[in-house]
Amino acid sequence: MSIQDPQAAGLAALAGLIADRTRAACLLVLLDGRAWTAGELARHAGVAASTLSEHLGKLVAGGLLAEERQGRHRYVRLADARVAQLVEDLAAQVPSAAVRRAPRSLRESSAGAAMARGRTCYDHLAGRLGIAVTDALTLRGLLRQDTGFALTDAGVEWFGTAGIALDLSSRRPLARACLDWTERRPHLAGVAGAALCRHALGAGWCVRVGSGRAVKVTADGERMLSDLLGVSGADLR
């Protein structure tokens, strides 16, 4: 394979899209699975709206973001679950020392602690919350990790009993391992992970903290996760 190979050129172009601090910040915040306005992203990244617009244009043209316009507002989101997986997998490769630098303010310290405790990773749960749920499913024989992530028959039945609908016709994997960038261990993703996260938020087991990706478990959520999976409340705080 030579440098003239079109796949090499495409890979270099993709890496170049991500290899910018402003664009990387946008991709990370969009891992919350929601659509953000260009103005919201500009404020989050700490750059001028005109500068951010240029970066978003490159990410949309490169296929990493999808955009929608409603009136005067321009909304962007990650193009699909594959992009989310790419961003999360790359983030997990960042050296721990770079991620765990000393916070510069109390607000930053609180935000970091909330993200580590529990967050959404595109459409599934991550952080200590995601790991606790994944471990509980595995311990009870509902999820296998020995040959890659796979729901057992008992696991599929458990989701039905818990009232969590699984889209078995989806082309996505039913269960997939996603390396958690704060815990450095895999948590549950795929159709099952997305269904569990959607149900947890919809049923009030978890609520979002602020406008970002962080989530926290409610009292009802602690009770349900204890009843259904034996997860300790201490593991969720």
**Greater pLDDT, 223 or 105:** 223
* Beta-carbon contacts of residue 179 (< 8 Å; ≥ 6 apart): 88, 89, 92, 185, 186
Q: What is the pLDDT of residue 187?
A: 93
Q: What is the pLDDT of residue 150?
A: 94
What are the structure tokens assigned to 206, written together? 């978890």
Cβ atoms of 128 and 118 within 8 Å: the answer is yes
Query: Model pTM greater than 0.75?
Result: no
Cα–Cα distance between 158 and 137 in angstroms, integer? 10
Q: What is the pLDDT of residue 62?
A: 93
Q: Which domains are present in the chain?
A: 6-79 (1.10.10.10), 102-236 (no CATH)
Hey, what amino acid is at 75? Y
Q: What is the pLDDT of residue 220?
A: 94
**How confident is the model over 62-78, as pLDDT tens digits?**
999 999 888 777 889 99
**How confident is the model over 139-168, as pLDDT tens digits?**
999 999 988 899 999 999 999 999 999 998
Query: Has residue 17 got a pLDDT over 70?
Result: yes
Cα–Cα distance between 24 and 12 in angstroms, integer? 16
DSSP-assigned letters across all residues of 32-56: GSS-EEHHHHHHHHTS-HHHHHHHH
**How confident is the model over 79-131, as pLDDT tens digits?**
988 898 888 888 878 776 555 555 555 455 566 688 888 999 888 999 999 99
Query: Has residue 199 got a pLDDT over 70?
Result: yes
DSSP state of 102: P
State phi, psi for 57 to the nearest 5 degrees.
Answer: -60, -40
Q: What is the pLDDT of residue 183?
A: 85
Hey, what amino acid is at 109? S
Burial of residue 122 (CB within 10 Å: 0-12, 13-18, 19+) is: buried
Other C-beta atoms closer than 10 Å to the C-beta of 48 total: 10
Closest by CA position to 212, among listed 138, 79, 134, 107: 107
Burial of residue 152 (CB within 10 Å: 0-12, 13-18, 19+) is: middle
